[in-house]
Amino acid sequence: MLAVLTSSIWHRVRADQTETIVSLSTSQPRCCILLQKPIVPEELYRGIRDSQLVGLLGYSNEGLPVFAVGVGLSTFDRASVHYYIQSHIQINEYRDRVILPAATKKYGKHISICIKILDMTGLKLSALNQIKLLTTIASIDNLNYPEKAQTYYIVNAPYVFSACWKVVKPLVQERTRNKIDVLSSCGEDDLLKIMDYSSLPHFCRKRSSDSVKYSESSSGNCYSLDHPFHLQLYNYVKQQFLLCQPAQPVKQGSVHVTLPEDADKEVIADTLESKLKKFKDLNISQGSTH
């Protein structure tokens, strides 16, 4: 959520920091390159997923992808800043290249936007310590992925959020403010008007033993690397990496042919054809053994 709230104040960062932000966010080819660069080892990526809480829940009644963002519980303390930025860009690129086109095909209409549900559970003033990272992420979104969210639903907002919102609200662009909808409590009743129960994140479900079990399972925790969305995303990035690798050089060989000095054209042709056939058969037999 802080990334959203700071989207209009990123220009207040010092000049040297602003230059870094612009170089990251205005280079669309670089965004594409980051999609082809998996974060390894896997344990590092797992740590990022456990500290940068973002996940895909399902789809709204209109077919819009529903993303959950654990604002209050994201710590950004398991990797360096550039890994979190890289991960954020990869999620955005995967959304635009795979998720949105798939939704368009599934629902039979053009879908180019999504819904984001921002969970404020655990939000503290100390979250402002990540203002530089969140400002950078917001700047990247503004320059490369504008107008990709239909609505930002805020749920489980603690008292500290109200205090922060009073300060930040005047700094937020009007178009962004118009998309923010603060829901009462966990927001379940309101969200069920636009999506099925199966698309609700666990933090929007009224407390019950079933919802607790669901949130603790790998399929229920949409933030986890074990969730289908993140597994598919991670595998997609690795596939893009392999596709971009240069092709292996073709193996070459040679064959020695001895010809008499007075050989005519027919003899030369027959001899070469015979030798080449043997050479070809040898390559085939060697290939079948690998």
The answer to pTM > 0.85 is no
| Segment 136-160, tens digit of pLDDT | 787 788 778 888 999 999 999 999 9
The hierarchical CATH code for the domain 2-243 is 3.40.525.10
Q: What is the pLDDT of residue 18?
A: 40
Cβ partners under 8 Å of residue 184, min gap 6? 190
| Segment 14-64, tens digit of pLDDT | 334 444 444 444 445 566 777 889 999 999 999 999 999 999 999 999 999
* Residue range(s) of every CATH 3.40.525.10 domain in the chain: 2-243
Residue 10 has pLDDT above 80, yes or no: no
Torsions phi, psi of 138, nearest 5?
Answer: -65, -35
Residue 6 has pLDDT above 60, yes or no: no
pLDDT (average), residues 194-223: 73
pLDDT (average), residues 123-134: 79
Neighbours of 89 (CB within 10 A): 24
Contact 216, 226 (CB under 8 A): no
Q: What percentage of the chain reaches a pLDDT higher than 70?
A: 72
Q: What is the pLDDT of residue 100?
A: 98
| Segment 86-96, tens digit of pLDDT | 999 999 999 99
Q: How confident is the model at residue 250 (pLDDT cuts 50, 70, 90)?
A: low
